[in-house]
Chains A and B, each alone.
Chain A
Amino acid sequence: MDINQIKIKVEGVNFYYGSKQALRDIALDIYKNKVTAIIGPSGCGKSTFIRLFNRMNDLIPGARFEGKILIDGNNIYDPKLDVVDLRRSVGMVFQKPNPFPKSIYENVAYGLSINGIRDKGYIADKVDKSLKDAALYSEVKNRLSDNALALSGGQQQRLCIARALAVEPEVLLMDEPASALDPTATLKIEELIHELKKKYTIIIVTHNMQQAARISDYTAFFMMGELIEYDITSKIFTKPSKKITEDYITGRFG
């Protein structure tokens, strides 16, 4: 077994929506170039949790955060830190494919142009490369100027992945990326995730237990805002240490 390098450290995190506590005293380590799956029944706080890593929850009025999240040793909730900067190094793919109503090319180039990159040749190369990395290139190479909304759902989601990859993040967050897709498209995304972990640290939320078992190296089980169990995926799915985890993964509730 190789030596795992810690990429992200979560320490004593509490999170509130107004007076309602959504996450309770969470602490865990996320390892570099691994896929970490977050599972749990709906409303357990898994989406809230994943949105802490790029501070998307900042956009919600009345939300409050306590604790520390360190990426490479730097606290991302340090008041002096630039959120915009953070979001460039932590990419995100959403539950529903959400390409912009622009061309395929413009979608991928968007992240570069807002980062002040004007070199057209560089952008063109980067778009091609990102589309290849997202396993979409061969399907769209002849129609890069078509509207992205003309693509199928699965293609749209891979386009969103390409869009996130173009800004060269170190961490990739995926919030149930395959929940709106058919089985074939889901399989493609799963294969892609397997490829991507060579370069990126991936955190994925999923409600699909088989998916978590198939693609992840580590699994965290959340319930009612608490982290119940966190371990190597194979251990979680074969001999979990807590009864409640076993009940959940064997489908007794949720």
Chain B
Amino acid sequence: MKKTLAKKELVQRLGFGFLSLCIMITVFFLGLLIYFIAVRGIKVISWEFLTQAPRRFMTQGGVAPAIVGTFYLTLGAISLALPLGLACAIYLCEYSPKSSIVNIIRISINNLAGIPSVVFGLFGFAVFVKFFGFGVSILSGALTLGIMVLPGIISASQEAFLAVPQSFREASFALGATQWQTIKNIVIPSALPGILTGVILSIGRVAGETAPILFTAATFYIRGYPDSIFSEVMALPYHIYALMTEGTHPQEQTQIAYGCALILLVLVLLVSGIAIFIRQRKRSGYGH
């Protein structure tokens, strides 16, 4: 009897030890990644690095055009995806009756969210670059990225709308509010934290994506800054890729890539931090 008890105890210890090891490896890997990129990236980051254009075959100077390019692409993508995605979610959750068709649409949207990003790149190339003739440009890239995050924004908004208690809508209707008044005054404000979290996470995703802009928007080098939505752009994530694979001076260029990676990493940490903060506040908000 005592022996089996001891064995049981031992197995439990080993098991729990294994679980601890798993989480430790995961956290360790994250720590390692952040450590290497932070320590080596911080050395090259300076005011000049953030505000100057590259010089001397990409071995000196800064990455300002890539930062600006990423900003344009992200802004463009979100200003396409946010209104479309929000409208789509509002239509599906508030206006259309709960039928099996809506359910099928919901499942399809989830599936579309799982399509590899490079496939979105193919789509953007065929449709925006070639068919509409926008060429390799900010416009093509922003549209491609926008469509890529569209399913994510739709499902995040849908979740947020579904989480709004039905009793809020009933109370509003019972006071004589119209459908739109109810959506505008009650549903959207209540769902806002959820929608916002989804949008912020999408910003992080758009800013860091590379594959969709490989052949729709990005270029290794342009002189100066883009002057219209039809120009090619430099973008931070693509810049890292190009420096590592097309570079001619690996020594110096790897250092610049560290700097770019650190900027992206900080951006992502910031964005995730804000999203987590909003979610926590929402939780402590109303307990319905």
A and B touch in the complex (CB under 8 A): yes
Interface flags for A84-108 (1: CB within 8 Å of B; 0: not) read: 1111100110101011111000000
Stretch at the interface among A110-118, A138-146, A236-244: A110-118
Give the residues in chain A near B173, CB-CB below 8 Å.
56, 59, 87
B170 touches A94 (CB 8 A): yes
In the assembled complex, A206 has its CB within 8 A of some CB on chain B: no
Pick from A59, A113, A149, A163: contact of B171, CB below 8 A: A163
Q: How far is the CA of A115 from the CA of B170 in the complex (A)?
A: 16
Instruction: State which residues 149-181 of B face A: CB under 8 Å.
Output: 165, 167-178, 181
Pick from B167, B175, B178: contact of A163, CB below 8 A: B175
**Additional A-B contact list (6), CB under 8 Å, known A92-B174, A99-B171:** A98-B171, A100-B172, A111-B176, A114-B177, A115-B176, A167-B175
Given contacts A101-B190, A101-B286, A114-B181, contact A59 B175 (CB under 8 A): no
Give the residues in chain A near B287, CB-CB below 8 Å.
149
Give the residues in chain B near A160, CB-CB below 8 Å.
171
A→B interface (CB under 8 Å): 54, 56, 59, 61, 84-88, 91-92, 94, 96, 98-102, 110-111, 113-115, 147, 149, 160, 163-164, 167
Given contacts A61-B97, A114-B185, contact A164 B175 (CB under 8 A): yes
Given contacts A56-B170, A61-B97, contact A98 B175 (CB under 8 A): no
Give the residues in chain A near B190, CB-CB below 8 Å.
100-101
Q: How far is the CA of A86 from the CA of B165 in the complex (A)?
A: 24
Give the residues in chain A near B172, CB-CB below 8 Å.
100, 110, 114
Q: How far is the CA of A196 from the CA of B14 in the complex (A)?
A: 69
**29 A–B contacts, CB within 8 A, in A order:** A54-B174, A56-B173, A84-B178, A86-B176, A87-B174, A87-B175, A88-B176, A91-B175, A92-B170, A94-B170, A94-B171, A98-B171, A99-B171, A100-B190, A101-B285, A110-B172, A111-B176, A111-B177, A114-B172, A114-B175, A114-B178, A114-B181, A147-B286, A149-B286, A149-B287, A163-B171, A163-B175, A164-B175, A167-B176
In the assembled complex, B8 has its CB within 8 A of some CB on chain A: no
Give the residues in chain B near A86, CB-CB below 8 Å.
176
Given contacts A84-B177, A88-B175, A115-B176, contact A98 B185 (CB under 8 A): no
B171 touches A84 (CB 8 A): no
Q: How far is the CA of A94 from the CA of B175 in the complex (A)?
A: 12
The minimal Cβ–Cβ distance linking A102 to chain B, given in whole angstroms, is 8
In the assembled complex, B7 has its CB within 8 A of some CB on chain A: no
Given contacts A110-B185, A114-B185, contact A98 B167 (CB under 8 A): yes
Q: How far is the CA of A247 from the CA of B109 in the complex (A)?
A: 55
Closest A residue to B182 using CB positions = A114
Given contacts A61-B98, A94-B170, contact A100 B178 (CB under 8 A): no
| A-B pairs, 6 with minimum CB distance | A88-B176, A98-B167, A92-B174, A111-B175, A87-B176, A114-B177
B97 touches A96 (CB 8 A): no
A114 touches B176 (CB 8 A): yes
B170 touches A59 (CB 8 A): yes
Give the residues in chain A near B171, CB-CB below 8 Å.
92, 94, 98-100, 160, 163
Q: How far is the CA of A61 from the CA of B100 in the complex (A)?
A: 13
The minimal Cβ–Cβ distance linking B115 to chain A, given in whole angstroms, is 32
Q: How far is the CA of A91 from the CA of B170 in the complex (A)?
A: 11
B176 touches A98 (CB 8 A): no
The minimal Cβ–Cβ distance linking B246 to chain A, given in whole angstroms, is 53
B168 touches A98 (CB 8 A): yes
Closest A residue to B99 using CB positions = A61
Give the residues in chain A near B99, CB-CB below 8 Å.
61
Closest A residue to B180 using CB positions = A114
Closest A residue to B285 using CB positions = A101
Pick from A84, A96, A101, A147: contact of B176, CB below 8 A: A84
Looking at A84, A113, A147, which has the most chain B CB atoms within 10 Å of its CB? A84
Q: How far is the CA of A163 from the CA of B175 in the complex (A)?
A: 8
Give the residues in chain B near A164, CB-CB below 8 Å.
174-175
The minimal Cβ–Cβ distance linking B235 to chain A, given in whole angstroms, is 40
Closest B residue to A99 using CB positions = B171
Interface flags for B92-115 (1: CB within 8 Å of A; 0: not) read: 000001110000000000000000
Give the residues in chain A near B178, CB-CB below 8 Å.
84, 114
The minimal Cβ–Cβ distance linking B244 to chain A, given in whole angstroms, is 49
Give the residues in chain B near A54, CB-CB below 8 Å.
174
Give the residues in chain B near A92, CB-CB below 8 Å.
170-171, 174
Q: How far is the CA of A84 from the CA of B172 in the complex (A)?
A: 11
Give the residues in chain A near B58, CB-CB below 8 Å.
none
Interface flags for B115-141 (1: CB within 8 Å of A; 0: not) read: 000000000000000000000000000
The minimal Cβ–Cβ distance linking A147 to chain B, given in whole angstroms, is 8
Q: How far is the CA of A163 from the CA of B99 in the complex (A)?
A: 33
Give the residues in chain A near B38, CB-CB below 8 Å.
none
Give the residues in chain B near A87, CB-CB below 8 Å.
173-176
In the assembled complex, B186 has its CB within 8 A of some CB on chain A: yes
Closest A residue to B165 using CB positions = A98
A96 touches B175 (CB 8 A): no
